[in-house]
Structure 1
Amino acid sequence: MLKKHSFLELTDSEIDRLVTRNSDDTNAIQDTVLHIIDQVRNQGDSALIELTRKFDKVNLNALFLDKDEIADLATTITRDQQRALEIAFQNIHKFHSAQLRKERTVETMPGVKCWREVRPIEKVGLYIPGGSAVLPSTLLMLGIPARIAGCREIIVCSPPQKSGKINGFVAYCLQLLKIERVYLVGGAQAVAAMAYGTDTIPRVDKIFGPGNQFVTKAKSIIQSISNVSIDMPAGPSEVLVIADDSAQPSFVAADLLAQAEHGPDSQAVLVATSDDIIQKVNEELKKQLEILPRAEITRMAIANSYAVLVNDLKEALQFSNRYAPEHLILETDEWQSLTNLILNAGSVFLGHLTPESAGDYASGTNHTLPTSGYARSYSGVSVDSFVKKITFQHINKQGLEQLGFTVETLAELEGLHAHKNAVSIRK
């Protein structure tokens, strides 16, 4: 179960080691990903078919499914399942629609007006993970803000199932989003295909989506060696739960396991104010693990996880801010007094009745979030992720008279006389 560490007994360097996850010290992941990127860049579709055979154990006749095939697959799920996806769609759409706002024009001085206007990123690529768990919710989390932003072209890549197709849930989400083609490619090779383009898969301007360590590494490398950008480093899932004596140990254990079942490289961290909480949560973990269908995977992630004992909730937040979790849950009656102390977190879940899985699926917030400590500098996906904000300015005669001297003076002191002349010649 969760190994315990005492916060006060940890040195700074020990805390740094404790909060580091998914590191690639030997560059083994990087080397593999670089090889895959090179293979896709040079061999295109043939590399994608070969890599799908190698990693997914699927022989593909075509690298995509079209509108009719998607429609057929969408009929394989029940009406109750369709309705659940529709409700999630509506809530996510409602929350994200409020993010698209027009900014006001600012007159910085008489006759000088400045403003920003929003423009969508024209071509975006959405990576929808597959593997041990197929995630239609991720398609909604990425596709909805892309639609709201007005992206002209939305490319979706997801690894094929053993049947060589996708499941009905992903297909139904594609229909809700009015996306008529899905590309059957996963892993680092999908990222490379969207970055460079192949005969079948179009090149995009920005790549979105979570994935395993290979997908995350591929996104980081692509951003550094091409002119394609990414949403953020979003790798194996993680949660940090802060719990005091008001917490229900069964709730805490359930929240930890909910993230641990994503994969063996996921991490679930408990930060508790007493030994008693840690002991009771460990007991609950044993009990709840036994009945999980994905118990083997979940147990591996729990072995990669730990508990931290702190004196109080403020100390708990100190550790949490060092960890910078993808998901932060405050299982305490006192959560309202703590929110202003949260500096680094992807998404926060407050109180005893707000499970992280609500945000994963249907509360409305986005579940594509920074992991591995990147919440110190990145936000989660939003409509802002799919747009550019272009600045505009207009200066009239009065404005040039007001501003001209300042620009001429600053240009001259920097030794840029052509800059000065561009103002002087207009006077």
Structure 2
Amino acid sequence: MTITPEFPATPTAPAVSFRTVDLRGKGLTLAGLRAAVPRAQHQTVADAEQKVLDIIGDVRRRGYDALTEYAQRFDGVEQDHPLVPAAELARALAELDPAVRKALEESISRARRFADSQRPRNIDVELGDGAIVSQNWVPVARVGLYVPGGLAVYPSSVIMNVVPALAAGVASIALASPPQKDFGGLPHPTILAAAALLGINEVYAIGGAQAIAAFAYGVDATTAGPTLEPVDVVTGPGNIFVATAKRLVKGVVGIDSEAGTTEIAILADSTAQPRLVAADLISQAEHDPKAASVLITDSEDLAAAVQIELNTQAAATKHSERVREALSGPQSGVVLVEDLEQGVAACDAYAAEHLEIMTANAAAVAARIRNAGAIFVGDYSPVSLGDYCAGSNHVLPTSGTAAFSSGLNVTTFLRAIQVINYTKGALQEVSGHIVSLAGAEDLPAHGQAVTARFGKPA
């Protein structure tokens, strides 16, 4: 692996230090590729873990008193109780910009159609006369959905969390989003409006790791407000503290994935349009100074042209300073590969949250990818489409966890319960095998539990 200086900026635009990692001619193993691709070098989960453990313990011990203090410390707001009044939800929806409402309704409609089709069917398998084993998909009773605040407003994340939970048949849904000083200590009104539009009336102004702790362990009622009941599953994206909190409460509750700061990788060849590649890299860099934007290509000419476009477009975009910082960070850059084969291998090693394919025969190339949260195929399927109106879900695994975990979907909120229903004859048919296996495992009482049903000793 060779790291070379970034391509030069255009003389009329602020510089974007989009570094280059050259993998050409390197016969790298999977481990080598994982080490070579750009990754964030900012605060790690280990760094955040003790802080999050302290927050979780504090919320468990002191409940709403702790949440009130964290609202003041982290968000600068005073709270009596974090539950958002129903009147505020109704007001937010009534005052919502009609164009935004129409867009949210379209996003909800498409997400519902996709989510409703995801629910797996129950099955009954007859393994012999009177021997039936079934698998039934049953929703969890209660879920806690987290919608981040920070540098942007995410009503789309309300949709992405709520719609699959509703499609799964979850009966009790609670939503938390950070309190905003500019809005009287409530979450952003567009977040509240999206929740109201979906019929969610249990909304809390709680942010960060403390929200995850409150969901996992519950909070007892006070004179200021009711109990926050614990949930069975916690979902939703967030910063490193939210992701760490989800990891630490996993086992107490289920989680979707450790969705942290956003990332995009684009696999492109010489047929790609530099202005589109640059626009899509910038679209994700806009989220956060620590967002990751990675171009993987076998074309030096494309890489050079994209660098020029990055400087031009970054200078013109609204959040230019944030974008330049993200694009110039160690988590971003261009990866030069020998050919498409090495490019696919680099993509699988990176395991991007969002992966765009901008190559000739893009659909065929996309079919070869094994590790990604979501794959966007061709020039007309940008990540922005998935963020809002594709119908897919944008709550996706980050930081390489797409190699073993999936994006949020209906099955996140379902459990597969196996049902075994054997008749006497069906049990008798396999009783000898059970006795033999029980003996092999030195668990004779297992065999006796079967033979006792037929009046014979094991």
TM-score range, shorter chain: over 0.9
What is the aligned-residue RMSD (CA, Å)? 1.7
Unaligned runs of 5+ in 1: none
What is the distance in 1 between the residues matched to 2:40 and 2:325?
A: 15
Quick one: which of 431, 436, 450 aligns to 1:404? Answer: 431
Tell me, yes or no, if structure 1 residue 46 matches structure 2 residue 60.
no
SS of the residue corresponding to residue 263 of structure 1 reads: coil
- Size of the aligned set, in residue pairs, is 425
Matches within 5 A, 1:174-323: 174-199=195-220, 200-223=227-250, 227-304=252-329, 305-323=332-350
* Structure 2 residue aligned with 1:99: 118
Distance apart, 1:18 and its partner CA:
3.6
Distance apart, 1:42 and its partner CA:
1.5
Q: Structure 2 length normalisation: TM-score?
A: 0.89
Quick one: which of 170, 182, 185 aligns to 2:191? Answer: 170
Distance apart, 1:17 and its partner CA:
3.1
Query: Residues 369-408 of structure 1, C-alpha deviation per residue, up to 9 Å, x if partnerless?
Result: 1101101110111100001110011111331232222112
Distance apart, 1:76 and its partner CA:
2.0
SS of the residue corresponding to residue 123 of structure 2 reads: coil
Contact residue 183 and residue 201 of structure 1 kept, 8 A: no
Distance apart, 1:169 and its partner CA:
2.2
SS of the residue corresponding to residue 389 of structure 1 reads: strand
Contact residue 238 and residue 260 of structure 2 kept, 8 A: yes
Quick one: which of 38, 44, 52 aligns to 1:33? Answer: 52
Moved more, 32-41 or 300-309: 32-41
SS of the residue corresponding to residue 126 of structure 2 reads: strand
Moved more, 372-381 or 108-117: 108-117
Tell me, yes or no, if structure 1 residue 349 matches structure 2 residue 376.
yes
* Structure 1 residue aligned with 2:23: 7
What is the distance in 2 between the residues matched to 1:105 and 1:202?
A: 35
Unaligned runs of 5+ in 2: 1-15, 221-226
Distance apart, 1:14 and its partner CA:
5.7
SS of the residue corresponding to residue 81 of structure 1 reads: helix
Quick one: which of 113, 116, 122 aligns to 2:135? Answer: 116
What is the distance in 2 between the residues matched to 1:127 and 1:296?
A: 27
Question: Given residue 132 of structure 1, which amino acid in structure 2 is its aligned partner?
Answer: L
Give aligned-pair identity as a percent: 36
Contact residue 331 and residue 352 of structure 1 kept, 8 A: yes
Tell me, yes or no, if structure 1 residue 141 matches structure 2 residue 157.
no
Contact residue 332 and residue 352 of structure 1 kept, 8 A: no
What is the distance in 1 between the residues matched to 2:392 and 2:153?
A: 20
Question: Given residue 271 of structure 2, which amino acid in structure 1 is its aligned partner?
Answer: S
Distance apart, 1:22 and its partner CA:
6.0
SS of the residue corresponding to residue 264 of structure 1 reads: coil
Distance apart, 1:115 and its partner CA:
1.1
What is the distance in 1 between the residues matched to 2:161 and 2:112?
A: 11
* Structure 2 residue aligned with 1:57: 76
What is the distance in 2 between the residues matched to 1:101 and 1:32?
A: 39
Moved more, 168-177 or 339-348: 168-177
* Structure 2 residue aligned with 1:421: 448
Quick one: which of 305, 327, 333 aligns to 2:360? Answer: 333
Q: Structure 1 length normalisation: TM-score?
A: 0.95
Contact residue 21 and residue 36 of structure 2 kept, 8 A: no
Contact residue 240 and residue 260 of structure 2 kept, 8 A: yes
SS of the residue corresponding to residue 401 of structure 1 reads: helix
Moved more, 183-192 or 103-112: 103-112
Question: Given residue 345 of structure 1, which amino acid in structure 2 is its aligned partner?
Answer: A
* Structure 2 residue aligned with 1:17: 35
Moved more, 320-329 or 98-107: 98-107
What is the distance in 2 between the residues matched to 1:345 and 1:102?
A: 25
Contact residue 242 and residue 332 of structure 1 kept, 8 A: yes
Which runs of structure 1 show a deviation greater than 4 angstroms over 4 or more consecutive aligned residues? 9-14, 22-26
What is the distance in 1 between the residues matched to 2:444 and 2:100?
A: 67
